[in-house]
Amino acid sequence: MKSVTSLLILIFFLLFTAAASGQSLRSYERAGDDAFKEKDYSAAVQHYATVLKRDDDNYSVLWKYGECARLFFAYNEAEKSYKKIVASKRYLKEFPLLLYRLGEVKKGQGDYAAAAEFFEKFLSDHPKIDAEYVEKARVEVETCRNTGLLSAESKEVEIKNLGKTINSPYSDFAPIVVGDTLFFSSYRFDKKNDRSKPKTKITKVMISSHGGRAREPGRGFPTTDTAHIAHTAFSPDGHYVVFSVCKNINAYDIRCELWLTVVDRRNRWLPPVRLPEPINAPGYTTTQPSIGYDEYFQGPVLWFSSDRPGGRGKLDLWYVPLDTVFFCPCALPLPGKKITRLPRFDEPVNATSLNTADNEGMPFFYAPTQKLYFSSEGWPGLGGYDIFSSRKGGQNFFKPENAGKGLNSSYNDVYFFLKPDGQNGYLSSNRPGSLYLDPANKACCNDLYSFRLPEPESLPRPSKGDSLPAISVKVVPLSTDPPPLPAVQAPTQLQDFVGLPLYFDNDEPDKRTRRTVTQKSYDETVQVYLERQREYRDRFTFGLTGPKAEAAEIMVDDFFENEIRRGYDRLGQLCELILSRLQGGEKIEVLIKGFTSPRAETDYNLNLGKRRISSVRNQFGTFSDGALQPYLKTGQLLISETSFGETTVRSGVSDNLTDERNSIYHPDAARERRVEIVEIREQ
């Protein structure tokens, strides 16, 4: 009897466990379905993957997992999932688009022969499928069979990822150069006061001056923590800027409008204003602006992409000539004034001959050759978005031409920008080599790349007695921050780095601890510090108005740009020089000292100074993926550490804990929170 009772208990337990497990899997699948419905493909992939770990023959989930992976650009994962369904022989009735999807992901991976075979098999196995997909499959077969004309490897186009000083694991896109400054948009920023996990990301505009590390423009450039700010289209004179303000509809789709800001005669950004109808169309997206001088219209023309009615489908290319009176430098608002008058806009025109039923966008009009560059999913290409160009003759456009491999790949290649020299430029792509948000699946996101074409675009020869207006190629550099610093050549002598200060945020690294060491490198702590530039500026100028507020802003910005950032860049130069000397057999000792502001007790500050030294020492160890580590281990490179805490603080620096403006945010107080390289010994 006892054994029977035990058996019944065991059976009940197993049935209960199985039921609970089934319920758990169904919960994950429902969570995946909800995320899929909201187009949050990253979350959906994770939920479906959890189900498949315990139920890898669930073909319904395999299909949904493959669909999400494909839409998240994780083509390898999508292919694995689709092929498992193919092997089951169940796809003909339950998943009629399966072979078509396999063709898509193979094309996305650049395997055009295999893609063509899947598209052909799809046509033969599904003669009664939706006519739309039949026609698409026929076009794809022809495109994949003819990609040799487009995909012949071009050894003349040089293309290079801009690296971690510019790119992030999130999408970086929309490059444009003004003077010596690269403007671009980045999806790397956390939405403030957002409680979701992971935090919602938003897009902001960033700049890189003279090839330096990417940063926010500062000094009044339009920004918000509740919407995406993206794209920068400068008027030919460089004073008027059209940009996008976008808000999320769901996890995948956003809706955008175009706004305008002006750089006044004192080179200060004025408060932005929304462009009126008919530029913005309520209920539809208007985005990706570009401005170029058009010979036919004898003035600047605004290009953008929109899904408004009157197009051929999805996103289309649109254009409208601009009000030349408004966009004249003579019409700039007076310093300190708001934009009180908006330009007149005609009804935008759909570039019908360039648009397809799929997406076209990211326009860039190159004035010297009167050529429009754009990206398209609809015209035959190598996969994803490809870059195309079309020459303009009068009011008409010639048939678009694919830019070919090099500029294009089987992935998404977008936001083409060409410098006035006609040879160098930038684009954005999620091709292999980009910084992936999910490295395991090689999914997401776009990086910025520079390219160099084999020969400059030839300038059009003006007719007799006529010439291109200077406005077509002239760009006035903007002073969005303190005037750009001249390019600095890296010193060639180690002694040139003696006295180099490296600055830290208040009580960093590792707040509220008496530890004397940290796991953080200087790179980690200074990046967070630099992101607080706007906060420091706002806190230090709080309550000030007029010239006093402006002077306080300049003090903070000068400190961040000319001291914190410059010190960080010079530390990298020092590490490179030390590495070259060590490789030549020299032995080097670097003596560094730590300093603090006087806000805390002396013994606390002594430990804080040591932590800062530890952070800088970690930086030497992590430089260039650990290139200096072998020399640190053998003693060929020595880092000698001495902390002076607050004992040498200059007079006048506030230690009042209740006066944060002067004891934390004042540049004089911030200068005390540093490590200095006080001596370099060479043997």
Report the pLDDT value the prediction gives residue 612, as an integer from 0 to 100.
Answer: 93
Tokens 């957002």, residue located: 194
Could you tell me how far CA 294 lies from the centroid of its own chain? 30
pLDDT band (50, 70, 90) for residue 607:
confident
> Residue 340 has what DSSP assignment?
-
pLDDT reported for residue 652: 53
Percent of the chain with pLDDT over 90: 36
pLDDT per position as a tens digit, 138-169: 888 888 887 765 655 455 789 999 988 899 88
Give the pLDDT score at 472.
26
Tens digit of pLDDT for each residue in 558-587?
788 778 988 988 898 899 899 999 999 999
Domains and CATH numbers, the chain: 20-151 (1.25.40.10), 158-472 (2.120.10), 494-682 (no CATH)
Where are any strands of DSSP class E within 480-536? 500-503
Residue showing tokens 């001056």: 209
Least confident of 12-21, 80-89, 279-288: 12-21
d(C-alpha 613, C-alpha 377), whole Å: 52
Distance of CA 663 to the CA centre of its chain: 35
615 or 24, higher pLDDT = 615
Q: Give per-residue pLDDT as tens, 29-49.
A: 888 888 888 878 878 888 888
Query: CA 447, CA 437: separation in Å to the nearest integer?
Result: 11
In this prediction, residues 208-232 reach a mean pLDDT of 82
Q: Does the structure show a pLDDT above 90 at 417?
A: yes
- Whether the per-residue pLDDT at 199 is higher than 50: the answer is yes
Closest C-alpha to 527, from 189, 227, 228:
189
Model pLDDT, residue 6:
56
Is 90 exceeded by the pLDDT of residue 454? no
* pLDDT tens-digit map of 346-391: 999 999 999 999 999 999 999 999 999 999 998 988 888 999 999 9
**pLDDT score at 128:** 64
Looking at the predicted structure, is the pLDDT value of residue 75 above 90? no
Band of pLDDT at residue 344, cut at 50, 70 and 90: confident
**Average per-residue pLDDT for the chain:** 82
* Cβ contacts of 263-268, under 8 Å, gap ≥ 24: 263/238, 263/239, 263/332, 263/478, 263/480, 264/239, 264/332, 264/333, 264/334, 264/335, 264/336, 264/337, 265/332, 265/334, 265/335, 266/335, 266/336, 267/478, 267/479, 267/480, 268/219, 268/220, 268/335, 268/336
Q: Which amino acid is at 155?
A: K
Closest CA to 454 of 393, 404, 412: 404
Q: Are 300 and 308 in contact (CB under 8 A)?
A: no
pLDDT at residue 317 tops 80: yes
Q: Which 3 state secondary structure label does DSSP give 436?
A: coil
Q: Would you state the pLDDT for residue 476?
A: 30
Query: Average pLDDT in the 123-134 region?
Result: 74
How far apart, in whole angstroms, are the C-alpha atoms of residue 78 and residue 144?
A: 20
Residue 438 has pLDDT above 70, yes or no: no
Question: In this predicted model, what pLDDT tens digit does every residue of 458-500 receive, in sequence order?
Answer: 544 433 333 222 222 223 333 333 333 233 345 678 998 999 9
